[in-house]
Amino acid sequence: MTAQEKISLSIENHKHICVGLDTDIKKIPSYLHKCSDPIFEFNSAIIEATKEHAGAYKINLAFYERYGISGLESLMKTVEAIPNDILVIGDGKRNDIGNTAEQYAISLFDQFSFDCATVNPYMGEDSVMPFLKYEDKISFILALTSNPGAKDFEKLELKNGELLYQHVLKYVNKWNKNGNCGIVFGATQISELETSIGSLDTLYTLIPGVGAQGGDLDAVVRTFTGAQNNNFLINMSRNLIYADNSEDFALTASEVITGLNQQILAHFAG
């Protein structure tokens, strides 16, 4: 299945929650520490408990690279444990000159078999194109992120009156000739999301920042449904995977995602 087919399946079934596997060994239940690969054991249990409800999984590469080779082993086993019809996003926010970006695209799409990658746009068009050559994959390009530092550069006003992230959005729309572009837009930026929603309709939108970072799920969903746009995935990491630190953590995660799905569905029923 292509990334587009997988995301369509999720959206049709109103599965908009992306489970963020930012797995930190210090935050998982301590009884797992005695396993040979605690991170994979944790991920595997979370995947098993949430796979009927998840619209996608997002693996943040930083949390695996920090353990070197054993971290990559956990990562690869985790990707394999995710059912083939569910979207898997490799969240690495890579960006480099074309010759190098090509290596990153090979790494994410061919070597690690991700359906999607997150890409930082700072270096411009030729640094993004190698990702977009993969027409059956989706590249989510950072527009406006959820963190406080988003104000430092992303929200700078340009001479023409646009903000930098709005200018990035224009480029992403231009790059989207093959329907394989997405954007990252932080849930903490609701008024900016409301302003930009009209320019997002053909772009897949990945929304981090709900939960630990303070973004409001209902406000995000309302903005999309108000614009009759269903092309969104809301990432939940810490508030979902670490909702319970006991041996019942996977069961609790399934209850959390079920509750979130109901909360989202209410907007569509209304």
Residue 26 vs 34, nearer CB to its own copies? 26
Q: Is 81 in the site for its own copies (CB under 8 A)?
A: no
Among 147, 178, 202, 262, which residue interacts with its own copies (rule: CB under 8 A)? 147
Across the strands, what pairs with 139? 117, 181
Vertex 62, ends 42 and 128: CA angle to 5°? 125
| Closest listed residue to residue 16, CA positions, set 253, 211, 206 | 206
Among 37, 96, 194, 216, which residue interacts with its own copies (rule: CB under 8 A)? 96
Strand (E) or helix (H) holding 138 = strand 138-144
Work out how close the CB of 247 gets to its own copies at its nearest, in angstroms, rounded to a whole number.
25
Tell me the window of 43-51, 80-88, 95-103, 226-234 that interacts with its own copies (CB under 8 A).
Answer: 95-103
| Closest listed residue to residue 206, CA positions, set 28, 12, 29, 58 | 58
Q: Is 128 in the site for its own copies (CB under 8 A)?
A: yes
Q: Is 164 in the site for its own copies (CB under 8 A)?
A: yes
- Tokens matching residue 157: 């006003």
Across the strands, what pairs with 205? 183, 232
Q: Is 213 in the site for its own copies (CB under 8 A)?
A: yes
* Cβ neighbours of 164 (radius 10 Å): 18
Kindly determine how many residues on this chain lie close enough to bind its own copies according to the rule CB under 8 A. Answer: 60
- Using DSSP's 3-state secondary structure scheme, residue 116 falls into strand
Residue 111 vs 178, nearer CB to its own copies? 111
Residue 66, exposed/middle/buried by CB under 10 A (0-12, 13-18, 19+)?
A: exposed
Among 79, 154, 235, 250, which residue interacts with its own copies (rule: CB under 8 A)? 154
Q: Is 137 in the site for its own copies (CB under 8 A)?
A: no
Tell me the window of 99-107, 193-201, 217-225, 241-249 that interacts with its own copies (CB under 8 A).
Answer: 99-107
| Closest listed residue to residue 118, CA positions, set 27, 210, 235 | 235
Residues that bind its own copies (CB under 8 A): 22, 24, 60, 62-63, 65-69, 72-73, 76, 93-101, 103-104, 106-107, 110-112, 120-128, 142, 145-154, 156-159, 161, 164, 167-168, 171, 208, 213
